[in-house]
Amino acid sequence: MAKEKVTFEINKEKDFSNWYSEIVKKAELGDLRYNIKGFIVFQPWSVLAMEKMFDYLEEILQLKGHKPYWYPAVIPEKNFLMEKDHVKGFAPEVFWVTETGAGEKLEEKMALRPTSETAFYQMFSIWIRSYKDLPFKTYQRAQVFRYETKATKPFIRSREFYWIETHNAFDSRENALKQAKEDMETTKEFLWDQLAIPFIFFERPQWDKFPGAEFTFAADTLMPDGKIIQLPSTHIISQKFTKAFNVKFTNEKGEEEYCWTTCYGPAVSRIFAAMISIHGDNKGLIFPFNVASLQAVIVPIYNDKNKEKVLIEAEKVLNELRKNKIRSEIDLTDKTMGEKFYYWEMKGVPFRIDLGEKEIKEKKATVFRRDSGKKTIESISKLSEFILSEGKKQLKSLQEKTRKNFEQGIVSADSIEKAKKQLEKGKVVKAEFCGTSMDSAECAEKIEKELNASVRGTKFGENEKPTGKCIACGKKAEKVIYIAKSY
């Protein structure tokens, strides 16, 4: 009997770009045929996973005191103009609404939100009055729109993406910094504990801050093509914002003070891109059990004579799985058995349950685990218990694999020439540097120009001590920085 054709098989390590484009198409994650450049249609297989991701994030945020809001998608131009650094940073990316469908010019043009500081702070100035109102911790789940001028790539870089943004007000800079650290904990609880995505939290250099921020911290992970992708970032916002929007409070002494604010932006659609890229293999997707659109699929094995009997038993198994909150379904398509196996491997379903007349007689089923390729014979009565247990093991297995790959992707270099060779191998380069204040921006420009890569910043909270000279200028090093190619 001839071997059936594999549905999806591209070498991810050798041709990640093609692998990524094909898996988005084949697994029906997003359709690029929508007729506006830079925008895609998100399809059920990605939407269902991202809904689970949103649920996890919102649960974490609410437990930490953040309250949900829904803000308008449009922001008046005057809001943007109130903080010059912010408008300067975002102006090239803004989509402007300037007239109505009847052709009437608007009195004031409005921006489709590229981010929402200027919307939230307008309301903060109304809502916050006293120290008793603080801390004031908010968030919204929203789409944002940015006119990307670089090449777009679905989920990774597009002109519309889906995220959660938190905006918070505090009575002191110290408490704002505590919030930034809490955001880092939230990132770990989400990216690592739920999705098995490894990352480093960097403090961005002063020349690479979020527009209008005093400090920017960001989680970066390494993609299979050797490029860094920024995931959640958190920012301590300059008081220029609260002064511009008059966000102040009366302290315990009855004196007025301006608030300190922070914002945090986990882009769920981009995190989704990192997740499928890091975990996928040459056969397609591998979803972490927690957020898989479908956690288990039952493949009934039958012929014309026993079809009804097998399907009845498959339905019983399905009901039991669903009763135990395992997202599952039966494959009732007319594909061949081999085609079904390859299809669900490509789609990344964590577990496949093969059920035929032989298994039914023995009251057992064959369970295939997607990430390891391991098959186990398990009692039908214990399938739910087994899958829930194996789901936890699957996450730990993914963590072990991705941690190892991530650590191997970071190497040291003490010269521009050595750094260049490592970057060409798809590595993140750890190097010594003269500093991260604006005084060192010239050295950073030299690095980025000669290496065609970016200075990501210093590892937050570890205070790595340099012992040599700056990789760019040869002066005594004051910081240890990380350099990488990026999206």
Domains parsed from the chain with CATH numbers? 16-279 (3.30.930.10), 294-392 (3.40.50.800), 410-486 (3.30.110.30)
Distances (CA, A) of 344 to 149, 293, 295, 373, 471: 36, 12, 11, 12, 48
Q: What would the two tokens of residue 285 be?
A: 């997707």
- At position 474, the amino acid (one-letter code) is G
- Alpha-carbon gap, residue 174 to 284, rounded angstroms: 46
170: enclosing H helix or E strand: strand 160-170
Q: Is 224 helix (H, G, I), strand (E, B) or coil?
A: coil
The C-alpha angle with vertex 390 and arms to 25 and 222, in degrees rounded to 5, equals 50
Task: Choose among 218, 226, 224, 227: nearest CA to 199.
Answer: 218
Q: Which residue's entry shows tokens 């960097």?
A: 202
Task: Tell me what pLDDT residue 265 has.
Answer: 96
67: enclosing H helix or E strand: strand 67-68
Task: Choose among 428, 272, 286, 292: nearest CA to 369.
Answer: 286
| Contact (CB, 8 A) for 415 and 407 | no
| Contact (CB, 8 A) for 382 and 326 | no
CA within 13 Å, CB half, 93: 20
Q: What would the two tokens of residue 413 be?
A: 């270099």
263: enclosing H helix or E strand: strand 260-264
Task: Tell me what pLDDT residue 7 has.
Answer: 54
| Contact (CB, 8 A) for 24 and 269 | no
Tens of pLDDT along the chain (487 residues) come to 344 444 567 899 899 999 999 999 999 999 999 999 889 999 999 999 999 999 999 999 999 999 999 999 999 999 988 876 777 777 788 999 999 999 899 999 999 999 999 999 999 999 999 999 999 999 999 999 999 877 778 999 889 999 999 999 999 999 999 999 999 999 999 999 999 999 999 999 988 888 889 999 999 999 999 999 999 999 999 999 999 999 999 999 999 999 999 999 999 999 999 999 999 999 999 999 999 999 999 999 999 899 999 999 999 999 999 999 999 999 999 999 999 999 999 999 999 999 999 999 999 999 999 999 999 999 999 999 999 999 999 999 999 999 999 999 999 999 999 999 999 999 999 999 998 776 788 899 999 999 999 999 999 988 899 999 999 999 999 999 999 999 8
- Alpha-carbon gap, residue 372 to 398, rounded angstroms: 10
Q: Which residue's entry shows tokens 């939100």?
A: 113
Q: Is 261 helix (H, G, I), strand (E, B) or coil?
A: strand
This prediction has a pTM of 0.94
Dmax (CA) of the chain: 86
Task: Find the DSSP H helices in 254-382.
Answer: 268-279, 307-323, 337-347, 357-362
| Contact (CB, 8 A) for 67 and 138 | yes
CA within 13 Å, CB half, 317: 34
| Cross-strand bridge partners of residue 328 | 296
Distances (CA, A) of 437 to 209, 211, 215, 221, 461: 11, 16, 11, 24, 17
